Chain A
Amino acid sequence: MWRSARRGATAPERQRFEPPWTGGITLLSHAESHEELAAHDHGAAPPHQPGADPHDEHGDHRSIGPHPLVKSVLLLGLGVYFLQLWLGGDLHNYVNARFGWLPILSAGLFLILALDGIAAGLRGARAPHLHHWLDHTHRAPSWPVLAVVAVPLMLGTLVPSQPLGARAVGGDLGLDPGAFDGAIVPASDSLEWTVLDWLRAFSSGSADRISGKEADVIGFVYRRDEDPKDAFVVMRFLMSCCSADAYAVGMPVVWANAEALPVDSWVRVHGTVAVGNFRGQNLPILTATAVENNIERPKQAYLYQ
């Protein structure tokens, strides 16, 4: 049925609208809509009237579905999770630093929705029954839906927050200098360049411009079985927006003790850059003079585009 009668009042006027392409649809009259708003305000629970509704099966859920406060608790959880993301440093594991305002916005919106739901619960509304005021597409979420929406909250709180590392390196995409065509060579001292800056500088023009320059970069250690014993790749994940679009970029490093460096550990590499061949590609290769082992992972583990 379209909606139920309000408590202690005369039944609202109901109009039948029957366009040729349907079997007849009951419309909200002006009075009905207003009244349903009032019902929400006062927490009235309109009685269910089976039989009057061709889609009646959709109306039954409210008697068996989860309590509306479960929604509010879930929203509250999400709000608190986003607050904690904002206050703690974990946000940088997921999204670009320039989106620092994002969790504040999310937390605010979720907390507003949660508090509104809790307030409605305290007022005594068993359920807002908005789906009746509205339309038949509107259903209060069922247990499976609530379970699905709980997934991010579970992953966010139960799985320790980690930035993407060596295990997430999907391939050599980042080593393809073509990806940086048209990039601008940073004007700063080459000792301040990141892995990304070096790849950009390399792909932006002649290799001569970077050959022989001194480099000092940090990143995590990545290695493939087929790589030479005295080489590893110092990598960073490059992020535009969030970890879903992050991909690894890196520079091959020649270092006699490369094998001793544990994969995924963070290192600082100092050395000289020359263009050479690695995995069959022309690339800027860093010949290390010093490798600082197991340095602390930076708070912002990603480089940003």
Chain B
Amino acid sequence: MLSTFSTRFLGIFIEAAPFLAIGSLASGLMEVFVDRNALARAIPRNPYLAGLAGMGLGFILPVCECGVVPVTRRLYSKGLPLSVGATFLLASPVINPIVLASTWTAFGMGPVLVGRFVITAVVAVAIGWLFAAGARPTEVLQPRALALVGGGSAEAATLTETSLFGRLRVGLGIATDEFFDMGRYLIVGSLLAAGMQTVVSQDALVALGRGPVTSVLTMQALAYVLSVCSTVDAFLALAFAGTFTTGSILAFLTFGPMVDIKSTLMFLSVFRARTVVYLVLLPLLMTTAIGIWINLNVA
């Protein structure tokens, strides 16, 4: 039992660790090397166009959901608008070159690959726009993260006088703390996921997998609980592709990267609890509706 649990857990950890480290490193180095003025200039003024830009950011900064939260938090410190950050947070775990490659490897060029990217883009941009329309930073962000938005929105540091080496060392120091800060969420999430896999039988899960509605909900629950990294979850989905409906596979591949146990815990470090509820429920409802619609009308 302990051996099985340990093997399942370490599998996730060993797989996720370098991505988490790269995410933390990108976050730390971004802090010392990215000019927040330049970034602020690059984002369109119009909040709705800015939301679209948030989606594109995902392709420039390839992070999976293990690494997206520290990068998002850091981008907020660079003055990124709330809505753009929200879209980036939800879109970038899927809309990046690594996931494009892994999904293509698993499913080839076809409805699953296209559907995954289109659904993710639609859901992430729509939620970003909701943030742009209604949300205020004080209502959305943790007080500690809030300071970032204030700090990033005006007078910015350029650090031009500092040596490259000096900056690098500061960046590494930030990355180290970032790794611990985020690593604890990854580890607690992975412990939960591995515990579930050790205790709950696959039979019980698979029995639910046929109906147009139950299959979608099952795959979403599976995606949420398993917390498999978005860079590799396409391969896991492949195993269910024969037994589960297409809509449920797409729900798995779109909902999972946006929201799972791991990322929910990580969201709590940036957003207020009420916002985290929205960040979980909105993608859930939207991907559920799209998945069921696909099952009933397309597949």
- Which are the 3 A-B pairs with shortest beta-carbon distances? A240-B235, A243-B11, A171-B203
Q: Is A47 an interface residue (CB 8 A)?
A: no
Query: Which of B1, B144, B238 is the most central at the interface, judged by chain A CB atoms within 10 Å of its CB?
Result: B144
CB distance from A60 to the nearest CB of B (A): 14
| Residues on A with beta carbons closer than 8 Å to the beta carbon of B73 | 137
Within 8 A of A (CB), among B17-38: 17-18, 21-22, 25, 31-32
**Contact status A176-B239, CB under 8 Å:** no
Bound CA–CA A15/B176 (angstroms): 29
Within 8 A of A (CB), among B171-218: 172-181, 183-184, 187-188, 190-191, 193-194, 197-198, 200-204, 206
**Contact status A27-B162, CB under 8 Å:** no
C-beta contact mask, A133-158 vs B, less than 8 Å → 1, else 0? 11111111100011011011001100
Contacts A94-B11, A95-B15 given; indicate if A151 touches B187 (C-beta within 8 A): yes
Contacts A91-B14, A137-B142 given; indicate if A75 touches B151 (C-beta within 8 A): no
| Residues on B with beta carbons closer than 8 Å to the beta carbon of A254 | none
Stretch of B2-10, B43-51, B281-289 lying at the A interface = B2-10
Stretch of B93-101, B126-134, B240-248 lying at the A interface = B240-248
Which residue of A38, A117, A137, A244 contacts B148 across the interface (Cβ within 8 Å)?
A: A137
20 A-B pairs (CB sep. < 8 Å): A17-B150, A25-B151, A30-B157, A37-B166, A41-B166, A82-B17, A93-B7, A94-B14, A102-B15, A105-B18, A110-B17, A117-B176, A135-B77, A137-B73, A137-B148, A149-B187, A170-B200, A181-B242, A240-B239, A244-B194
Within 8 A of B (CB), among A153-202: 155-156, 159-165, 167-168, 170-173, 176, 178-182
Query: Which of A29, A113, A238 is the most central at the interface, judged by chain B CB atoms within 10 Å of its CB?
Result: A113
**Contact status A244-B8, CB under 8 Å:** yes
**Contact status A28-B155, CB under 8 Å:** yes
**Chain A interface residues (CB < 8 Å from chain B):** 15, 17, 19, 21-22, 25, 27-30, 32-34, 37-38, 40-41, 55, 58, 71, 75, 78, 82, 85, 91, 93-95, 99, 102-103, 105-106, 109-110, 112-113, 116-117, 120, 128, 130-131, 133-141, 145-146, 148-149, 151-152, 155-156, 159-165, 167-168, 170-173, 176, 178-182, 203, 238, 240-247, 305
| Residues on B with beta carbons closer than 8 Å to the beta carbon of A151 | 187, 191
* Given A22-B137, A41-B166, 11 other A-B residues pairs in contact with their CB atoms under 8 A: A34-B162, A95-B14, A102-B15, A113-B21, A136-B147, A138-B177, A146-B180, A176-B243, A238-B239, A241-B228, A245-B226
Q: Is B60 an interface residue (CB 8 A)?
A: no
Bound CA–CA A242/B4 (angstroms): 13
Bound CA–CA A238/B200 (angstroms): 18
| Residues on A with beta carbons closer than 8 Å to the beta carbon of B269 | 137
| Residues on A with beta carbons closer than 8 Å to the beta carbon of B240 | 179
* Interface size of B in residues (CB-CB distance below 8 Å): 89
**Contact status B161-A40, CB under 8 Å:** no
**Contact status A179-B232, CB under 8 Å:** no
**Contact status B143-A116, CB under 8 Å:** no
CB distance from B128 to the nearest CB of A (A): 19
Which residue of A99, A109, A155, A160 contacts B15 across the interface (Cβ within 8 Å)?
A: A99
**Contact status B183-A149, CB under 8 Å:** yes
Within 8 A of A (CB), among B222-280: 226, 228-229, 232, 235-236, 238-243, 269-270
CB distance from A115 to the nearest CB of B (A): 9
Contacts A55-B147, A71-B180 given; indicate if A22 touches B138 (C-beta within 8 A): yes
CB distance from B292 to the nearest CB of A (A): 21
Bound CA–CA A176/B184 (angstroms): 37
| Residues on B with beta carbons closer than 8 Å to the beta carbon of A247 | 202, 239
